[in-house]
Structure 1
Amino acid sequence: MKITFEGQSHQIDANTLINVLLHYQNIVNEASKELSGGSKNIELKINALEKGSFVIDVSLIESAIKHLFSSESVAYIASLYAIVDGTHRLYKHFKGRPVRTEEDKETAKTIIGNTEFNITIRVYNQPPVREAVSKSIETANADVNVEGFSVDCGTNEPTEFKRESFKEYIYDDFDTEKAILNETDEVVDAVLTIIALNFEPGSRWQFMYNGFKIQMTVKDDALMRKIDEGERFGKGDAIHVKMKIMKRYNPTYKAYENKSYKIVEFLEHIEVPRQKELF
C-alpha cells in the first residue's frame, strides 16, 4: 500500500507524515478488528524510501510469525487491503457522511466493487474511522507543501484528494450524528380518539392514545382529502392510522422517551355513535 503526498517541494512537515500515518494506522486497526473479530494483530511497517520520494510504501503483516507466510494470512491481508481501499473510496464519495439508507448501501456496493462490501460499510460507518480519514486530509491541508494526498492499496486506482477540494472533505458533523444515533422511531397501528381538532391544513390536533393525551400536526393527504370532501369529524370520533412515534434516548432512565408523533397513513374514520333525535 502507498500513501502519496503531491507537491513541488521535496519536503513536507514531519508532523504531516507522523499524523497521517497515525490516522492511517487507526483505520487499519479498526478494519482488522471488524474483519477478524479481534482475533488477529496487524503491524504497520514502513518500507525503505528512495531519496526525495513523497511515496510512503506501507506493508501490513500479521504479528504472529508462525502465520506470516500461510495461505490464510495472505488471504487475510488481501481482504484487509480491500477494506481499507473501500473505506477511502466511500469517504471520497460520501464526503464523510455515514452510509444509512438502502439507496446509500446500493451506491456503496457499486463504489467498493469487492466481496468484502458488508464489512467495508461497517468499518466505514464507524465514526473513529471516518474521523481518521478527515484528520488526515485536515493535516495535509495545513501543510502548504502538500498539493494532493492519495492512498493506493493496489486493488484499484488510487483514491485521490486534491488541495482545491481538501476543505469539502474535512467532515466535522460527528456531534450531530451522535444526537441522531440517540434517536429512533417506530411505526405502529393506532386508533386515536379525537379530543380537539382544527380543520386548517397543517394545524395541530389533540388525541387520546393508550390513555395519554398527545398532539400532532395533521398533514396526511388522505385525511385532509376526506375533510375537503366534506366528511364530518367530531370530538369523540376516532381515526385508525399508521403512526410514527419519534423517540429519544434518556441516559438518566436508560430508556427511550416518546418525543413526537406523526400520522403516516390514514386508514379509517370511526364515528362515535350519535344520539338519535326523539322527534
Structure 2
Amino acid sequence: METRLSLRYTGPAVDEGLMDVYQASANMIAFSEFMVTAVKATFGDAADAKANVAGFGKGSFITDLVFSVGGPAATIFASFTSDHLVTVLQEAFGLWKHLKGSPPTEVNQSGQSVSVTNNTGQIIQVQTDTLNLVFSEKGADSVGRFIKDALNQTGITGVEIASKGEPVAHVAQHEADYFVPVAKESPVSENVVTMALILVAPVFQDGNKWRFSDGTGTSSFSAAIEDQTFIARVNNGERFGKGDVLTVEMRIVQTRTSNKISVERVVLRVLEHREAAQQPSLV
C-alpha cells in the first residue's frame, strides 16, 4: 500500500524564500515521524511505514509513505486502504482543534466510535484510531514540532496537508497552541511520606521549585514548597547552602497519561533544616 502526502507552509517567509533551512529540515523529520506514528495507530504495531521524500515545491515538500505488514496481521491489514489513514488524519487535526490544547472532560467509547467532550461542553465523534493517535506521546511530540513550533516562527502563518491534491487539514497561526499533549491524566497513587532531602539548589523567587536529591545516587528532582512558615523564614534571611539537609513531609503523586507515568512532588512541611557538614580545617 502506498500514499502520497504533501506538507505546505504559507506566509511571508515562505513567499520570500526565507524559511530557515534547519527549521525546514526539522519540520520534514517531525512530519515523517508523525506519519509513521499515524500508520501504527491506524493499522496496528505490526504495520511498518517508511517515509521517502518525493519532491519539493515552493513552501512545501511531498513524501511517499510505503506501508507493509507481515504475519497473521496481513489479512486484517489488507482490508484497509490509504483512505482510512487520511480519514484518521482529518479527524486527528479536528480533535486537536476541538480540545484547544486542554485534556477532554469526558471520553465515551461505543464500539469503534468515541465521543470526546471538551472543556466548554462541546462533543465530537471520532474513531478509536484517531483518539489513539492524538493521545499518543509520539504523536503529540511530533505534531508539536511541525505544527506548533513551525507556526511560532516569524513569517509562517499556516500549515496545510494534502493527499492526491485534495486538502486533508489546515492549521492557522492562531491555532498553533492547540497542538500539544492533550491526553487526560488519571491518578495512579498519592502518598505523604517523611524523608530527608539533600538540597541541590534553593530558589528564592516566589512560585519556583527547589531542587533536591534523596541521596540514593539517582538524578535530582524539583519540588514546590507549600510550608508558609518555612517560606517566611527564607524571606527573613535564613541561610541555605548546597548539601544542606531538609527533613520534610512530602506529597508524592503519580499520574498516568497514555503510556507515560509522571511524578509530582510537593513539600507540605519542613520539619528540620540541617546545614551541610563542614570539612574540618587541617591548619
Q: If the length of structure 1 is used for normalisation, what is the TM-score?
A: 0.50
Q: If the length of structure 2 is used for normalisation, what is the TM-score?
A: 0.49
Structure of higher CA gyration radius: 1
Higher strand share: 2
